Each structure stands twice: as C-alpha cells, then as structure tokens.
Amino acid sequence: MRNEEYEAMARVEHTLWWYRGLRNNVTALLAAHRRTRNLIVLDAGCGTGGILDMLARQWPDDKRLGIDYSSLACSYSLQRHVATICCGSVQSLPYASASIDIVLSLDVLTADSVDPNLALVEFKRVLKPEGLLILNLPAYKWLLSYHDRAVNQSRRVNLNDVGPMLATAGLRLLYGTYWNTLLFPLMVLRRKLRWRTAASSDVRSIPSFFNRVFFHIVRIETALIRRGVRFPYGGSVLIVATKDNI
C-alpha cells in the first residue's frame, strides 16, 4: 500500500465510521470466543495500529504483537506504545510455532503483495492448539474499483470461498458472515459510479453528520453479530477460525 494511504489511515482510523465499526465487530467476536485472560495476540498486518490500541484498552493484560511489511506503518504503530512491533511479512512470521493464542489479520490477505495460502499456513503454524484466527476480507470481485487500486488490492472474496481456503491450510471455520450490509447499496453506488480515473481510496474524513449516522447503522449490525447472526451480503467478510488440537 502506498505511503499516502497509511498516512490517511493514521489520520482517520480513530474517527471514521468504518474503522470504528470493524473494531467493534472484532471486539464482539473476541469477547464471544476467547475463554481466558493473559493471552498472546498478534495483529498480522497491523497497519497504523488502531486494532492494537483497541486491544490494549479492552484486554490490557494480554501480550500484544504487531507485524507489517511497511516501515511507515510500523512507525505509526510504535508511536502508540501498546504493542511489540516488527517489520516483516505475514508469509514468514518471526514467531515460534504454537506460540500465539489469537491471530488477527484484517484486510491483509487480499493485498497484491500477499499470497493468502502461504499466509494462512503461517497463521496456523504460529497458533497454539485450539488458537483463534479472525479475518476481515473485502467482499465480491465484481466490486473491484478505484478504492482497491489505491490500496494495491486486486482480489476480493465471497464468503463461500473462505472455508476451502482455511481447510487447505489446516484451519476450521467457526463463524462467517458478511457485514456492512445495511449501507451496502450506498457502497455499490459510490464504488461503481465514481470516475474510474480516481486515484485515492475511500480512507478519508467525511462530514461529521454522515460519519455519526453511518457508525450508528453499523452498530446495529455489531449487536447482531454479537448474537451470532450471519448476514447474507455486505461489503466485507468477517471470519472466525480455529487451529484444531490435532
């Protein structure tokens, strides 16, 4: 991803409705599936550190690790002082086998620089038996647009694609859903009607009124995800998987 996109992420990650909604969804899934305290949690592709910051506030007793291939992203994450950060690839993680309780990887596996199959094998390797993997992935290849080009991403996925990918890597799907469902029609209109020559992504500030409204709409979905509801479509795919104790 280009440096200007990381700079934009760092500016809006704490305020933009989409990032806040994603953090709430991840929090809901972690609260539902984790069983103990004092865990080791890895954000694989940590970007500018927003998720790690959330983890530090929600579960301060955990040990938090972050890795990203971008030195600029790592520098932003380091400034938060909430995790041990290193620069590296999700395809070759610098952690011992069976050493991590939870791996998060959010909008990373579809990056052009990442082989998702290699990354999933690495996630399985570093996870402890019965460890958890939480993924967020952009949905629907037909929705590829200026935004994906700006963030160097030429792949999007359907929910049905994810189970076989996980199984090939030796991981088992526990829960999967689409999200950003209620706002999905607006997303499609924006991504498909905007000029194809647009060079920047949708990672930018929007008027505060719309930001508040969109966030409260996504909160409805988070409340349902917390109860195990699965949405039939949406702008992103949210996954919980496990490494079986075998």
Boundaries of every domain in the chain: 3-242
Using a cut of 0.75, tell me whether the model's pTM lies above it.
yes
Q: Grade residue 125 by pLDDT with cuts at 50, 70 and 90.
A: very high
Contact 98, 128 (CB under 8 A): yes
pLDDT score for 246: 56
pLDDT on residue 193: 80
Using an 8 Å Cβ cutoff, are 33 and 240 in contact?
yes
HEC-encoded secondary structure of 21-78: HHHHHHHHHHHHHCCCCCCEEEEECCCCCHHHHHHHHHCCCCEEEEEECCHHHHHHHH
Q: Are strands 172-179 and 236-242 parallel, antiparallel or unpaired?
A: antiparallel
Q: Give pLDDT tens digits for 153-192.
A: 989 999 999 999 999 999 999 999 999 999 999 999 988 8
Residue 226's identity, in one-letter code, is: R
Taking all residues of the chain, what is their mean pLDDT, rounded to a whole number?
94
The model's pLDDT over 222-236, given as tens digits with 9 standing for 90+, comes to 999 999 999 999 999
In sequence order, the 6+-apart residues with CB closer than 8 A to the CB of 246 are: 129
User: Is residue 8 within a helix (H) or strand (E), and if so which, with residue range?
Assistant: helix 3-12
> In angstroms, rounded to a whole number, what is the distance separating the alpha carbons of residues 243 and 124?
6
Q: Name the more confident of 127 and 200.
A: 127
* 3-242: CATH topology: Rossmann fold (3.40.50)
First to last CA, the chain: 37
Whole-angstrom distance, CA of residue 137 vs CA of residue 113: 15
